[in-house]
Every structure is written in structure tokens, then in C-alpha cells.
Structure 1
Amino acid sequence: MASLISAALLMSPTLPPTGPLPAMKPSAEAAHVAPFQGPPRPETAEVPKPEPKPALKEGAPETTPDDANTPAETQKESVASPPPPPIEKEDPEKLKACLADLRTLGVQFEEKPAVTEGEGCGIEHPVEVKAIADGVTVSAGADMRCDTARALATWMKNMVQPALNVAMPGRKIVGITHASTYVCRLRNGASTGKISEHARGNAIDIADFKLDNGQSLTMKPRDEDSTLEGAFQRAATAAACLYFTTVLSPGSDAAHETHLHLDVLQRTNGYRYCR
């Protein structure tokens, strides 16, 4: 009987212990694993900071035209406008020679007393031009320095009228309508910035040419104008840079859509700005 019981015990499966299971110890690897926290929230994600822009160098050479301001220049000048330069002094001998040149060119003009308005505005020895180059009249109020009048008369005689002879044979320019000559203001009439060459008698804005048949050649953007009238304006404008140091054609910028700006500002090394 005992042998049968022993055989039965050997053939039956091992039963699990009936008491509580012993606690399992975590492995060394599992003990060092950080708990899962999920992806970073959008509001806590780090946003890269933009790189700072390089600072503008002080004392950089001026590359803008005399009577035009770029947005960067306007912003800079709105902080602190430069002091206006003093009224330009005339060299007596050069002035005498200039007035003699005006008479030789047939310019009708009147010498006027000095104009001084403060803030850098004025002309030490102004002339009021009434007609240039073979009786081409200039609209009223054309006060300017002698150098400006000489450049205007020479350009008209040597370049403008000959160009018209090619574009419109038989026609003759009999008058110039100006939009502005001497006026005390800053460039483009701004409230801050550099003083305009108009305020020093160095500039004239031409609005149109009057022809002997009553027609007017109005200054306007003509870069894409393939007519002879357009060709004449471009030829006259390009030739102006032979006599003036600043030439701003109609359409060269927003402030010069309806007129041709010409001035005789003297720059370093004889630099000229023509567009």
C-alpha cells in the first residue's frame, strides 16, 4: 500500500506553494531608466532666437542723390537731422567770369540782393533768369546762383535744341516752365533730413518745354516710350549730366514723377549722380 502511494505522488504534477509570493527585486538596468514623460508640450518647446543684425558703420560714404532720401536714410535722419551748411560764398573772380558767360550765351537775367533766411537757406549773389539761349523764356520766379543759370543755358543751347531738331524738324523751343528753383526747404519737402539744393540756389526742376507751335512737351516717365517725343526727352535728360552734377529723371523715384531735377552740387572727386 505504501508503495502505491509513493508511486502516485511521483506521477502527479508539482503544486505551487500556497503562501504569498516573494517580492521581485528590480534589475540594475531597470533601476536607471527614467520614467516616460511623453513629447514636449508646444508651449514649452524652445524657440530659436533670431540672430542680431550687424550694426551700421558710422562714417559710411554717402551714395544717395542730393535731392532724394532712401528709407534707411530717412529713418536715421528722423532721430537727429544734421546741422544745415552755411550759405555758399561766391568767389569774386569766378562770379565775374560766370556773369560774363551768361551775357555771351544771351541769357536775360537780373542781379538781385542777397537772400538769407536762416537754417542754411539763401544765395549770396542770386540772379533771376528770364530767358536763355536765343530767347527761350523761363517762367517767373527763377532765382538761382549764376553757376546754375550757366549750366542751364549751355545745356539748352548745345544739347536740348539740337535734339529737338532731330526729333521734330522745324520745331523750336521757346520756353521752359519750371516747377521750382530757389525755395527754403529740406529735400523733397520733408520735415527732417538734409537741406535741399533748391534752398541754396543750386537746383531747378523742369516741368515742360514750350514749342513754337503752342505744343508742350511735358516731363513724365518715358523709359518705355518708343515715340520720337520719348526719345527726345531721354536724349535731353542724358545730356544734362554733362552740365549738372545731379540729374533725376521723371520716374527715377516717387518724388520725381512729374519733373526733371537738375542741380550743380559739388561732390568729392567730381562725383555725379544721374538717373
Structure 2
Amino acid sequence: MLRTRRILAFLVAAALFVPAATAQPVPAIPKPKPSAEGTGSATDNPEGNAPRARPGEADDPAAPDGTAAPAAAPAGPEAPPGNGPEPRPSDPAREEPTPGGGEPNGSSQAPAEGAGEPPAIDQAESDCRWRLKALGVAFEPLPAIDDGPDCRIPAPISVSELDAGLKLEPAATLSCPAAEALATWAKEVVVPAAREAFGTEPSEIVQASSYVCRTQNGEPGAKMSEHAAGNAVDILAIAVEGHGTIGLADPGAVVSDSAEGEAIAGFRARIRSQACAFFATVLGPGSDEAHATHLHLDIREREAGARICQ
């Protein structure tokens, strides 16, 4: 009986031991750790290779955070050889006008002929006007003057300034050669004489007569005056800055507001005597009664270039 109990107890113990020995606990499958880049597990890419790049991304560098850099914008059409727009052609160099190149006021065409309009001019007249411009003379072309067979100026001009800052008052109607002689005398004689005598500049030359259709001295039956051809001008006075208006007549004869003294006498004598280098006729106070109040200057042509300087 006792033996039977021991056998049963052994069998029970064996039955309990066998399941404990054979049943092994199944370990829990560890969860995959996040990848170093934080972009997914290895199971997302069975081959262990990086994901295939999309077309156009093969050369993209990796971004600093390990992700693929965004695709570059598609390149535009290839530029033709010689990048950049073609340069615009530069403006042609402006040429300075030269004598003989048309009107000195910049126009390449002579004014059309017609009533009240300046006439076409020849080469000699054109060259003369260019010289006036070079001297600094301010002038305007005028319509041709024809007051009869003895009173004509084919191409007259109105002169209002003989040099910058040196006015001719009132404006004088002259031929171009007479205007050139007057402007050259003013520039080379009057201006330096005023500087030497008064230490300042002349500002205005006052004229009493330019073109006038008349005979010499207005006498009936006399030769025609050079005034009738626009080749003469009568100078009455010269205004000098700081010294008033200096008359060219004998002291006290006509023009007032003149300072008296040796400076004025020397100034008058110099501008009169040196005028003979530019004019064919120079008459003034002391020559005759007709010229007692002014200086008469003209460019009359005489045989052998004879001049009258009185």
C-alpha cells in the first residue's frame, strides 16, 4: 500500500515537471530603434540601399540634416554665344562746325528765300559769319536790303554784342565784313585800352549810326556814304565799368557822365589811332565839323589800299 502511494506521488511529480521543462517563455521581440537619421527603419528598405533618386535629383547634395536637398529649378533655355544683350551702337561723335559748312548758327541749310526772310549766302559770307562766331559776336541774319541802286546790303546782319559782356547799343545793321572789323577793333584795342587806363572792362559801345541810305555827310550830290552799304558805323561813346560813359567827342562837347583826366584823354587817343589797323577810314573830333561828336569808322575800298586816318 505504501509502495503504491509512492508510485502515484512520483507520477504526479513527473507530470508537473515535464510541462515546466518543455515550455520556454518566448522572449519579446524588441521594437526597432529609430535610425540615426530619423528617417525610418531598415525594414523600409529591404536592400539596405539608399532610396533611388528621382529623375533630376541624382546630383543633389545632401542637406546638413541628412535629408535630400530640394531639386534644383530646371535650367532655362541655353543662352546664345556671347552672353548678355548686344550693346547699342554708340551715338556718332558730334563734329564741331567748320567754316564753309553752312550757316554759323548750326543749320546746314541756308534760309529759304522769300519776303522777310534772310537770303541764301555765298561761301565768302558764310566764312565771314563763322569768324564772327569765333570772335564771340552776337548777331542775327536780316532780309536783304534794297533801297535803290546805291543803297543795298545783299546779306545784312544785326549785331547786338561784340564780345561776351560787351554790348553794342543799339544793335547795328551792318555787312559782315564791317561787323568783323568792328568786333576785332573792340577786342584787340578797346578792351585792353580800358583795362590799362581804368583797370576795368568796357561794358557797352554806343553807336549813333550804322546802315543809312544817304550821301557822305548828308550833302546833296556827294558820293554815297559807306553807311549806304552797311560798311560804316559811328561810335558815340563807350561805357566802362565803374567810370560811367566816356564820350569820344572833345571834353564837354556831347556826352556827360564822363570822368575827366589824363586817363580819359589817353584812352580816347589810343582807341582812335589804333583803329586805323582795322578800318580804311577813321574820322573824329578835329577832322571836320561833321565828325566833331563821334568816331566814324568804315571799310571803304580804295586804290592801292589807301587809308584815311584823321
TM over 0.5: yes
1:250–1:256 Cα contact (<8 Å) kept: yes
The equivalent of 1:131 in structure 2 is 161
1:220–1:251 Cα contact (<8 Å) kept: no
The CA RMSD over aligned residues, in Å, is: 1.8
Which AA in structure 2 matches 1:218?
G
The equivalent of 1:101 in structure 2 is 131
The equivalent of 2:183 in structure 1 is 153
Identity %: 38
Q: 1:163 aligns with which of 158, 172, 193?
A: 193
Q: Give secondary structure in 1 for the equivalent of 2:147.
A: strand
Q: 1:115 aligns with which of 130, 133, 145?
A: 145
- The Cα shift of 1:250 comes to 1.9
- The Cα shift of 1:267 comes to 0.9
Following the alignment from structure 2 to structure 1, what is the Cα–Cα distance between the partners of residues 241 and 261?
A: 23
- The Cα shift of 1:190 comes to 1.2
Following the alignment from structure 2 to structure 1, what is the Cα–Cα distance between the partners of residues 306 and 226?
A: 16
1:109–1:128 Cα contact (<8 Å) kept: yes
- The Cα shift of 1:128 comes to 0.3
TM norm structure 1: 0.64
Which AA in structure 2 matches 1:137?
K
Which AA in structure 2 matches 1:102?
L
**Aligned pairs, number:** 183
Is residue 2:294 matched to residue 1:250? no
Is residue 2:264 matched to residue 1:235? no
Q: Give secondary structure in 1 for the equivalent of 2:170.
A: coil
The equivalent of 1:260 in structure 2 is 295
Following the alignment from structure 1 to structure 2, what is the Cα–Cα distance between the partners of residues 237 and 91?
A: 33
Following the alignment from structure 1 to structure 2, what is the Cα–Cα distance between the partners of residues 115 and 91?
A: 14
Which AA in structure 2 matches 1:132?
L
Structure 2 residue runs of 5 or longer lacking an equivalent are 1-119, 252-259
Following the alignment from structure 2 to structure 1, what is the Cα–Cα distance between the partners of residues 190 and 171?
A: 22
The equivalent of 1:209 in structure 2 is 238
Following the alignment from structure 2 to structure 1, what is the Cα–Cα distance between the partners of residues 163 and 132?
A: 10
Alignment of 1:1-275 (within 5 A): 92-169=122-199, 171-213=200-242, 215-221=244-250, 227-275=262-310
Following the alignment from structure 1 to structure 2, what is the Cα–Cα distance between the partners of residues 211 and 141?
A: 18
Which AA in structure 1 matches 2:263?
L
Following the alignment from structure 1 to structure 2, what is the Cα–Cα distance between the partners of residues 239 and 134?
A: 22
1:249–1:259 Cα contact (<8 Å) kept: yes
2:138–2:161 Cα contact (<8 Å) kept: yes
- The Cα shift of 1:212 comes to 2.0
- The Cα shift of 1:141 comes to 4.1
Q: Deviation per CA, 1:115-137: give whole Å up to 9, x if none.
A: 00014012110010000122211
Following the alignment from structure 2 to structure 1, what is the Cα–Cα distance between the partners of residues 171 and 271?
A: 23
Following the alignment from structure 2 to structure 1, what is the Cα–Cα distance between the partners of residues 129 and 278?
A: 17
Larger radius of gyration: 2
2:121–2:155 Cα contact (<8 Å) kept: no
Q: Give secondary structure in 2 for the equivalent of 1:118.
A: coil
The equivalent of 2:108 in structure 1 is none
2:145–2:154 Cα contact (<8 Å) kept: yes
Q: Give secondary structure in 1 for the equivalent of 2:268.
A: helix
Following the alignment from structure 2 to structure 1, what is the Cα–Cα distance between the partners of residues 307 and 147?
A: 28
Q: Give secondary structure in 1 for the equivalent of 2:164.
A: coil
Following the alignment from structure 2 to structure 1, what is the Cα–Cα distance between the partners of residues 191 and 172?
A: 20
- The Cα shift of 1:172 comes to 1.1
Following the alignment from structure 1 to structure 2, what is the Cα–Cα distance between the partners of residues 271 and 221?
A: 27
Following the alignment from structure 1 to structure 2, what is the Cα–Cα distance between the partners of residues 266 and 141?
A: 24
Which AA in structure 2 matches 1:268?
E
1:250–1:258 Cα contact (<8 Å) kept: yes
Which AA in structure 2 matches 1:131?
E
